[in-house]
Amino acid sequence: MQPVSHQVMGYDRAITMFSPDGRLLQVEYAKKTVKQGSTAIGIVCKDGVVLVTDKRIIDPLVVSESVEKIFKIDDHMGATAAGILSDARVLIDRAQLLAQQHRVTYDSPIEVLNVVKHISDIKQICTQSGGLRPFGVSLLVIGVDDKGPSLFETDPTGIYFQYHAAVIGEGETEIEELLQKEYSPELNMEDGIKLGLSGLKRILGDTFNLSRIDCAFISSQEKVFTRLPRAKVEKLAKEAKKK
């Protein structure tokens, strides 16, 4: 007699129903959605923290500048996502509101970890409440506060971890191997962006195009979220190609 799959048994029909081996299948489906999303890379450097992302613009009629893959949360914080970007915008809106409320109340910037915990709490609620579905998105959150530059990843379960370097989305395994091999705490932000671009070139191959690449950084000294100008991205991409 053939064993009956979990899906046939109906364990994936409700977010609150555990399968016999202790899995929430809807959450696992959400994590698979993230792996199919466009790639995003975050790297902590000695002088700040950077994000390098692929906007995955395939249609030549789309205005590339209109596609937002990197989001500003506050002057000292930013984030990017892989998965369902409309889900990401909801979470980013909540994070921006929290950061603004903190500035108004305490007249100081919020700690990066507090925002990450807030986002993770919202995600976690959607893994245990009937009638909801999990957020089908992972976020990389970067920032510079009193503790220095930092990078966090949150996944659809509501779990978060702090990283020196992290990647989410398509090609995660290949780029993670590159980061483990090439990453060093002594990298400056330019070298970090080059490393991220090298990773995207590795998985995109002939489809790599600067019109689909977005980069941002926050320096430890200025603590200001800044999008990298297109001309600078092109310059660093050429240097990364030589490497």
* Three-state DSSP string of 75-132: CCEEEEEEECHHHHHHHHHHHHHHHHHHHHHHCCCCCHHHHHHHHHHHHHHCCCCCCC
Model pLDDT, residue 131 = 85
Sheet containing 48-54, strands listed edge to edge, beginning at the edge strand earlier in sequence = 165-168, 40-45, 48-54, 213-219, 225-227
pLDDT mean over 195-202: 96
Express as a percent the part of the chain with pLDDT over 70.
95
pLDDT mean over 125-137: 92
Buried-exposed string 145-167: b where 16+ CB fall within 10 A, e elsewhere: beeebbbbbbbbbbebeebbbbb
Model pLDDT, residue 1 = 44
Average pLDDT, the chain: 92
What's the rounded Cα separation, in Å, for the pair 200 and 105? Answer: 41
pLDDT at 36 > cutoff 70: yes
pLDDT at 195 > cutoff 90: yes
pLDDT mean over 174-189: 96
Q: Which of 24-33, 59-68, 76-85, 158-167 has the lowest mean pLDDT?
A: 59-68
Of residues 11 and 235, more confidence is placed in 235
- Give residue 5's pLDDT band: very low, low, confident or very high (50, 70, 90): low
Of residues 63 and 218, more confidence is placed in 218
Task: Please report the domains of the chain, with CATH numbers, ordered by start residue.
Answer: 35-242 (3.60.20.10)
pLDDT in tens, 43-101: 999 999 999 999 998 888 888 888 899 999 999 999 999 999 999 999 999 999 999 99
- Give residue 9's pLDDT band: very low, low, confident or very high (50, 70, 90): low
